[in-house]
Structure 1
């Protein structure tokens, strides 16, 4: 199952990518949203391929855990995160494209690949509600993009 969203931001490409790859800030945002995120490996100096995190979060009334790895890091245009939660593999691809010197498009693709029967049942139930999930995913991405845009314009 795949979810996609694209949002345009009124900010230069390099500043948008720098904000998206500021993992300290992203970790703090996740904590504010109720996720427990801990970096398990990676350089302290900045983002790099191979960084890993362990996350604990609530989903459908249960506590879940995920191991996340930054599988690909190509500044200033692409990041790929691979994660495993139970029998579900998830890959998130973040593409950042300059539309002009002051406008940038962020594209996010999330693909879920079940590896166990229970994960297949979960993905199948999500597929039944795909229309609503697509809308909520796009709305969440729109909100995150607006927050990022406000932050970047305030720091300009």
Structure 2
């Protein structure tokens, strides 16, 4: 697994965007299956204290799958509706999220570099929906490099977990 690139945009704009990618020693099909393991992601969020409710009964990844999510952030309970807006098998999964203050788009791209190596690119675009959210986002931009570093570390850890699971499934 190797880190390739990480960028953070946002200077002078109303949104903040993070982009990063990791190369994973696993076939693209295995990585896609891990990325779209929504039941596993729901359990992980519950373990971290979030409240996650699936709003439809679909288990297959695809547009229309949606969740109602509540979590603690900065001493408050934040609520968000997240839904899959696009899902191209073995290539792309895109989510849109809406909360009281923000809209976000999370895009996960997969590229098969070889039969056993996949590049996972994740981009997060955060846009304010209110004046309060805009002020919060402007304050967050002051710590942009720290946020970018945390984003990169989370993606690196996620990619490492996928790689470890792939190595164990080969044995």
TM-score by length of 1: 0.95
Contact in 2 for aligned 1:90/1:110 (Cα 8 Å): yes
Structure 1 vs Structure 2 CA RMSD: 1.0
Runs of 5+ unmatched residues, structure 2: 1-15
Runs of 5+ unmatched residues, structure 1: none
2:58 to 43, 59, 83: 43
Task: Give 1:7's aligned residue.
Answer: 22
Task: Give 2:104's aligned residue.
Answer: 90
Matched, 1:18 2:33: yes
Task: Give structure 1 regions of 4+ aligned residues with deviation exceeding 3 angstroms.
Answer: none
Contact in 2 for aligned 1:42/1:52 (Cα 8 Å): no
C-alpha distance in structure 1 between counterparts of 2:50 and 2:168, whole Å: 26
1:104 to 100, 118, 128: 118
Per-residue deviation, residues 106-135 of structure 1 (Å, max 9, x unmatched): 000000111210110111111111000000
Contact in 2 for aligned 1:114/1:120 (Cα 8 Å): yes
Q: How many residues align?
A: 155
Contact in 2 for aligned 1:11/1:104 (Cα 8 Å): yes
1:42 Cα deviation from its structure 2 partner: 4.5
